[in-house]
Amino acid sequence: MKSKLGFIVFVFALALTISIASCAPVATPTPTTPTPAPKPITLTFANFPPAPTFPCVSMERWAKEVEKRTKGLVKVKTFPGGTLLTARNMFDGVLAGVADIGCSCTSYEPGRFPLLAGNDLPVGYISATQASHVLWDLTQEFKPKSLADFKVLHMYTCAPVYIQSKDPIRSLEDLKGYELRAAGTGVVILKALGAAAIGMPMSEVPEALQKGVIKGYTSSLEVLMDFKYAEIVKYVTDYPMCVVSFAVVMNKDSWNSLPSSVKKVIDDLGEEQSVWTGQYMDKHIEKSLKWSKEEQGVKIIELSSEEKARWDEKLKPLIDKWVEETEAKGLPAKKFLKRLYELKAKYGK
């Protein structure tokens, strides 16, 4: 009897529980608020030479890569040809926030980048790829104080500078007193070799060549085709004199405002863009030389090993002087130059 009564109580309790549960209000899911899409970011990038030149080709490639790799989150508005900042005020303009990003040559402001000036010495670079790779590594390793106020995005150089002349230059004797246009470090180098160096912007070279004010110039070799100088000058002396270093830098506040994901994209592009620019320049040089030799009859003059040694000896004091003066400023010029030569050998061409 007791077991029957217990069973009845159990059944009643179970039924009561089910009844209560069925009457309980059903929980309504809380609606989720959709995550807002990140706001697009626009960066301004200033450059000083005309749009078709290699620094601006590099700028446009970098801008497209950043937009692609951030899936459209970052848009880069480019300003070639000095339309936002010129070479003279590029670095200060980026510091002031006139542009988020800027590109200029470190040698355009003598004394401002004393350690980096070592890369523009006559150290015998044989390609823009080699020199650009070395410059990027040197900048990462030595972290020059002159760039401390910027975020360094990438670094590269032009192709090596050569003498391009109306007459064949085969020796120091041929070069003595010979009127050649140069700019920046090239002026000092030509004077050391005994030439009559004339400082002149590239825009004035065509008229000066036509009028005989100069008999040639020093420059990387793309100008033979791009500016049609091969129609006037017919000789290139195969002695790489120097390169010109370029720095692409960003305003620190602009950099700090970026999301970490965007910073990673830009950081990952640093070495890649540096080397890409050097490779682009070298390929363009090959096209220029091919056109100049085949279409315009330009000849390449090879210096004998003995003659090259004479030129090297003339230029060695320039390097020694830079080391002495830069060390006197408390900067590691000797270590910088030693590492430069190590990297130069590592990267070959």
- Per DSSP, what are the bridge partners of residue 217? 164, 181
pLDDT of residue 203: 75
What lies within 8 Å, CB to CB, of 228 at 6+ separation is none
* 41-162+241-347: CATH, from 3.40.190.170, 2.60.120.260, 3.40.50.150, 3.40.50.300: 3.40.190.170
- Per DSSP, what are the bridge partners of residue 219? 162
Among 293, 254, 281, which Cα is nearest to 49's?
281
Reported as a single tens digit per residue, the pLDDT across 28-57 is 555 565 656 678 999 999 999 999 999 999
Q: What is the 3-state composition of the chain as percent helix, strand, coil, each rounded to the nearest 5? A: 55, 15, 30
Among 73, 235, 76, which Cα is nearest to 169's?
235
What is the spatial distance between Cα 120 and Cα 155, in angstroms, rounded to a whole number? 13
**Identity (one letter) of the amino acid at 146?**
S
Size of the chain in residues: 349
CA distances from 280 to 55, 77, 157 (A): 10, 22, 11
Neighbours of 199 (CB within 10 A): 11
Strand order, beta sheet including 245-251: 74-79, 41-46, 101-105, 245-251, 150-157
**Identity (one letter) of the amino acid at 342?**
E
Specify the range with the lowest mean pLDDT, choosing from 105-109, 130-134, 303-307.
105-109
**Identity (one letter) of the amino acid at 49?**
P
Reported as a single tens digit per residue, the pLDDT across 135-180 is 999 999 999 999 999 999 999 999 999 999 999 999 999 999 999 9
More confident residue, 206 or 344: 344
What is the spatial distance between Cα 199 and Cα 252, in angstroms, rounded to a whole number? 35
Reported as a single tens digit per residue, the pLDDT across 45-101 is 999 999 999 999 999 999 999 999 999 999 999 999 999 999 989 999 999 999 999
pTM assigned to the model: 0.85
pLDDT of residue 38: 74
What is the spatial distance between Cα 76 and Cα 262, in angstroms, rounded to a whole number? 13
What is the spatial distance between Cα 8 and Cα 130, in angstroms, rounded to a whole number? 94
Taking the domains of the chain in order of start, what are their residue ranges? 41-162+241-347
